[in-house]
Amino acid sequence: MAALSWEHRRQKILDEINTNDADVVCLQEVEKEVFDEYFSVQLAYKGYKGVFWSRTRAKTMSAKDVKTVDGCATFYKHAKLILLDKQGIEFAGVAINRPDMKLQKDMFNRFMPRDHIGLLTFFENRYTGSRVLVGNTHIFWDPAYADVKLIQVAIFMQGINTFAEKYAKWPAQLNKRAFTLLDSEDKDEPEEPLPEPAPSKVYNSKTVLPLVLCTDLNSTVESGVYELLSKGSVSAEHRELRGFEYGDFSKYGIEHPFSIRSAYSNLDKGPDAMPFTNYTIDFRGVIDHIWYSTNSLENLSLLGRIDPEYMRTVPGFPNYHFPSDHIPIMAEFAFKGTKEKKVHTEPDFGTSSRRDRRD
């Protein structure tokens, strides 16, 4: 079927990215070869640069085989954002190096065979000086391994905690000049002058550093994974941890210090609540989230749900119009204390006209 061919699907994904024109784009389950030879090349024409991190098994494979290993990819508008740092978090590698987990049987029997990763990118806006830490991750899918998912996210958040502390003390960025068409000898007409860069923002602690997490959790809102991220902790007696041995995590529970919220939860009490982000013949649910730090960011708008009338005509995704079984989600944020005052103070979380169209 032509609609399921990779050539068609990758073009539809590219079209969606170009249409939405986000400053930062996070993709999961992207093969290295696809990142190197397709998305990086095509998105460069739209002003994006990309960062990629393969799943852990790539380290044990030949150069030829590594091309087929998937991972997380984060693209950003480099004329606007400076990449200050990037880090990969390899969950199994971190876990096996923890003294409290080395001799735990569930570590070897359940956790270690999964080679999922997280990708961190730390940005500064060239012109406002605002900084943001962006996390991108995809965790294990199997519902029979809820404990594994929870420990993967625990290690992800532990890594974010470590690097956020480092990034809160990151020195000011002095060179903020971006390459523009003015630098090209082939440019005939000068562009409009760029705004004067502002000094780098100063953050007095890791918990006030703006944080955005783009996550394929493969877990519903009733899961321990969602509870950990939204509430900041889960007990050692949590049903998904009870009876398993994961060192201090299963002995004392899991916690993180960040005040974060899933952006689409802002719609939950209204008529535009997101009914699903993953839609197949045998599963429909919200398992993808854009988390943001509520003390430093304000959620202004969201890409709305798919037209319900259209949904009555299809049994599931992917199809001709939607190239993945996951739909794209998108959020717009303002840094608190930096946005201009608006007449209307209530954010508009209505359905996006872009999402209602049927192509």
- From the list 208, 183, 207, 210, the residue with the least C-alpha distance to 194 is 183
Instruction: Choose, from 216, 268, 348, 359, the residue flagged as catalytic.
Output: 216
Task: Identify the pLDDT of residue 178.
Answer: 72
**Catalytic status, residue 23:** no
State which fold the 2-182+194-356 domain adopts. Deoxyribonuclease I; Chain A (3.60.10)
Task: Identify the pLDDT of residue 180.
Answer: 53
Contact status, residue 132 vs residue 210, Cβ threshold 8 Å: yes
Task: Identify the pLDDT of residue 167.
Answer: 98
Task: Identify the pLDDT of residue 356.
Answer: 41
Local confidence band at 179 (pLDDT 50, 70, 90 cut-offs): low
Of 166-180, 191-205, 344-358, least confident by mean pLDDT is 344-358
Q: Which helix (H) or strand (E) holds 117?
A: strand 117-125
Q: Is the pLDDT of residue 75 over 90?
A: yes
**CA of residue 287 relative to chain centroid, distance:** 12
Q: Is the pLDDT of residue 181 over 90?
A: no
Task: Identify the pLDDT of residue 188.
Answer: 54
- DSSP-derived pairing of the beta strands 260-262 and 288-293: antiparallel
Local confidence band at 145 (pLDDT 50, 70, 90 cut-offs): very high
The DSSP secondary structure of 17-42, one letter per residue, reads HHHH--SEEEEEEEEHHHIIIIIHHH
pLDDT in tens, 312-337: 999 999 999 999 999 999 999 999 97
d(CA 221, CA 219): 7
DSSP 209: S
**pTM for the complete prediction?**
0.90
Q: Is the pLDDT of residue 350 over 50?
A: no
Average pLDDT, the chain: 90
Q: Per-domain residue ranges for the chain?
A: 2-182+194-356
Contact partners, residue 334, CB within 8 Å, separation at least 6: 297, 298, 300
Task: Identify the pLDDT of residue 338.
Answer: 54
Q: By CB neighbour count within 10 A (0-12 exposed, 13-18 middle, 19+ buried), where does 259 fall?
A: middle
pLDDT in tens, 335-349: 997 544 444 444 444
Task: Identify the pLDDT of residue 344.
Answer: 40
Task: Identify the pLDDT of residue 347.
Answer: 46
Q: Which amino acid is at 61?
A: M
Contact partners, residue 184, CB within 8 Å, separation at least 6: none
Q: Is the pLDDT of residue 112 over 50?
A: yes
Beta strands in 145-286 (DSSP E): 211-216, 233-234, 254-255, 260-262, 278-279, 284-285
Q: Is the pLDDT of residue 29 over 90?
A: yes
- Phi (first) and psi of residue 171, to 5 degrees: -65, 160
